[in-house]
Amino acid sequence: MINGLLAKFRAVLIQDKGSRLTFRFPNFLSIILLSSVGVTALVWGVRELKWLQAGELSIYDRMLRSRPQEPLDGRILLVTITQEDLTREKWPLSDQTINKLLEKLESYQPRVIGLNIYRQGQKNLAANLHKQDLMIGTCLLSNIARTEIPPPPNLPIDNIGFDDVVSDNATDQILRRTLLFTDVTNTDNKCQTRFSLAFLLAMSYLEKQGIEYNFTKNEQLQIGKTIFPRLDKNAGSYQNTDAYGYQILLNYRHPNHLAKQVTLTQVLTDQVNPNWIQDRLVIVGTTAASVHPGYYTPYSSLSDQPARMPRVFIHAQIASQIISTVLDGRPLIYYWPDWAEWLWIWSCALVGAVLAWQWRHPVMLIIVESFILVGVVGIAAGLYLQAIWIPLFTPSLALVITSFAVMGYTTYQTQKQNQAILLQVEQQEEAIAQISLLLEQTTALPSQFNEFNFSEISIFKTDDLLLAGRYKILKTLASGGFGRTYLAEDTQKQGNPICVVKQLMPARRDPRFMDVARRLFNTEAQILAVVGKHPLIPELFASFEENQEFYLVQEYILGHTLSEELPPETSVKNEVFVVSMLKEVLEILAFVHDHRVIHRDIKPTNIMRSTQDNRLVLIDFGAVKLIQPRIDEATELATVAIGTRGYSPPEQFAGHPRLSSDIYALGIIGIQAITGIPPQELPVNPETGNIMWRQRTNVSDELGAILDKMVCYHFGDRYQSATAVLQDLKLLVISH
């Protein structure tokens, strides 16, 4: 599969020219770059409008849930006040009950006790504790939807943390961020603390271990040696989110593997292992939904989890994250800066554009893109495991949009190009009909050719002036009739690449003939410009008229013609060679015929074997040759037809070639290769007109049947497309 991909990529990017390493930048790269950048800008703009934020956050939640479960945080113990506890104790719990609980806990020597219980009118909370600084209480800040709840009056403000959390209210109310502390406080509030309960609990635990916090020069929170970067308003897939205060992303542990839990009743009745409490961070809070419904989290969608997580668990998650990050090096959730995310999205869009350029069939594109999307998900999942949050929905969307945009554009351009080619083919046929009529008139009077002065034929030498001001003629490659082929050097192109200049001399110079010849030449040049985009057809660099002579400048193919490989009768080619040759040429013909273009002169001398990659290249399309006179009628058809005797089928003799005419000529070459007999010497069945060749060689019935069908006398009995022949040849290979 990789080799196939490289071959397709090379076919688009590379054209062999002489030394044969010229990249087709303008067409390929301009479309790829413009489409990928345009779609990236579009997707980025939609992303900035927050239209894609919900999708990205949903993927983020799924990735969090899919991470491997971590062990319990052994530093924390949760004392939960369950709904069952509240059947024994009236809510709100009295100061007496709470103080009894705190005394029990203090007796087991915890490092810190966090009380996530607040109510109006607390007066003697923790009054009997021996160490008042052991406990951290809480209060609730005020907002538009509720009034504040003040802290216990008998606790110092340094031992008070606010209970408030930050949810994504604009999307789904899920808690993905945590507020560690606020920037300022309102002096009118009774809850004057700047720090969250979870932050105070974690810091109280760490300070007893000699670890303190401070701020770096750029005002980033540093605890010990660990920096907790402040959440950016565009962090990850957030777009302009409310990042007030000092927030970080909440790196959850799985709810089932957070910390050990005991109930209020178990503590009050001494059913707790003292080792679970000693030197631990103990957090007390209710899990009863009747007291507080809890908060939505990324785990809310799991079937084995409640829809909401109790707030005491939320504070335990945050405290555990801070402590384990500082002491264990547990990673914080990191996210890329905007420029890196933009490059990531653009890279996916770029891949989508390249895929669409390579696989233009919708079904194939969907299949290949599915594999690529799996790879994108794999990259994102691998980074999530490293606690790196990157966009996934956005780049995937960019990949899909770009691929279908490029496919739509190329399909439109192909249709537009095909329409233009069809128009050129129609004009070509019209010009051929007119020029054939003119040539028929001159064929009846060959003496008219004497009016042409042969001395006017331009013969270029290496010391002549540049042709068209840029092509320096190096040597003559071939000459015949009224035309010549030269090897030339393009003096205006970087590196002075070698090219082929074909000089075509019109049979007559009278205005009427020249006008028709000019139209035929121009249509042929435009057709060659299109078919020359195939990597195995010489590219047309230029076409022009000078001094009533026509010139085609084409890619130079270094190699030899197929005629040098065709054997004499004593050294025929085997079936492997014939099948391989047929396949290579048919693949080129499939492209040519898709544009409704007929080559008209397929013969061994018009098929080159490239020295660079040993592949066959189809050269020398035949329609433009009609503007030249036919001198050697032993090999060239006279006047009204184009082609070569022996290789051209009957309808082409009559001046009515079809797509199957090219298939006929190629079939004749196959028969010539496997029999070693020139086509002019092959006998013809007088009743059917079909060539009789099977008795002259040993050939498998399968290949023989294919060749017979390719060279049927009547065009309606032949293969009607190069693709159909290829399909039968592939079955032939499979059957062997």
For 42, other C-beta atoms within 10 Å of its C-beta total 16
DSSP class per residue in 352-370 = HHHHHHH--SHHHHHHHHH
Which of the four pLDDT bands, split at 50, 70 and 90, describes residue 321? Answer: very high
Q: For the residues 73-91, what does the mean pLDDT come to?
A: 93
Token pair 């000699």 in the structure block, residue: 210
For 48, other C-beta atoms within 10 Å of its C-beta total 13
- Residue 45 CA neighbour count, 13 Å, CB half: 6
By CB neighbour count within 10 A (0-12 exposed, 13-18 middle, 19+ buried), where does 659 fall? Answer: buried
The mean of the pLDDT values for the chain is 85
How many degrees, rounded to 5, is the angle at CA 555 between CA 621 and CA 458?
75
Q: Give the Cα separation of 671 and 663 in Å (integer).
A: 12
Residue 5: the pLDDT is: 40
Check: CB of residue 647 under 8 Å from CB of residue 603: yes
Q: What are 497's two structure tokens? A: 């690449």
Q: Give the Cα separation of 322 and 627 in Å (integer).
A: 86
Q: Which residues contact 378 (CB under 8 A, 6 or more apart)?
A: none
- The one catalytic residue among 16, 168, 601, 620: 601
Q: The whole model's pTM is what? A: 0.70
SS3 of residue 619 by DSSP: coil
- The residue type found at 544 is F
Residue 148, pLDDT > 90, answer no
User: Phi then psi for 180, rounded to 5 degrees?
Assistant: -80, -45
Residue 464: the pLDDT is: 57
- The residue type found at 133 is D
Which of the four pLDDT bands, split at 50, 70 and 90, describes residue 573? Answer: confident
User: Between 632 and 191, where is the model more confident?
Assistant: 191
Q: For the residues 398-407, what does the mean pLDDT come to?
A: 94
Which of the four pLDDT bands, split at 50, 70 and 90, describes residue 448? Answer: very low
Percent of the chain whose predicted confidence (pLDDT) is above 70:
86
Q: What is the DSSP pairing of strand 334-335 with strand 388-389?
A: parallel
Tell me the pLDDT tens digit for each residue of 695-724: 888 899 999 999 999 999 999 999 999 999
Tell me the pLDDT tens digit for each residue of 414-444: 777 777 777 777 777 777 777 777 766 654 4
Residue 657, pLDDT > 80, answer yes
Residue 141: the pLDDT is: 80
Residue 569: the pLDDT is: 57
Residue 157: the pLDDT is: 87
Helix ranges restricted to H, 532-658: 575-594, 650-653
Lowest-confidence range among 430-439, 466-475, 595-604?
A: 430-439
Residue 20: the pLDDT is: 29
Q: Give the Cα separation of 6 and 1 in Å (integer).
A: 9
Check: CB of residue 314 under 8 Å from CB of residue 287: no
Which of the four pLDDT bands, split at 50, 70 and 90, describes residue 27? Answer: low
Q: For the residues 155-171, what does the mean pLDDT come to?
A: 87
**Closest CA relative to residue 504, chosen from 638, 624, 636, 635:** 624
Residue 334: the pLDDT is: 94
Q: What are 215's two structure tokens? A: 């701020």
Q: Give the Cα separation of 360 and 348 in Å (integer).
A: 18
Check: CB of residue 317 under 8 Å from CB of residue 250: yes
Tell me the pLDDT tens digit for each residue of 532-551: 888 999 999 998 988 888 89
- Can you say how many angstroms the Cα of residue 138 is from the centroid of all Cα atoms in its chain? 52
620 has catalytic annotation: no
Residue 671, pLDDT > 70, answer yes
Q: Give the Cα separation of 669 and 46 in Å (integer).
A: 59
Residue 582: the pLDDT is: 95
Tell me the pLDDT tens digit for each residue of 225-278: 999 999 999 998 899 898 889 999 999 999 999 999 999 999 999 999 999 999
Check: CB of residue 68 under 8 Å from CB of residue 302: no
Residue 36, pLDDT > 60, answer yes
Residue 200: the pLDDT is: 96
Q: Which residues pair with 725 in a beta bridge?
A: none
Can you give the three-state secondary structure of 217-241, one letter per residue?
CCCCEEECCEEECCCCCCCCCCCCC
Which of the four pLDDT bands, split at 50, 70 and 90, describes residue 521? Answer: confident
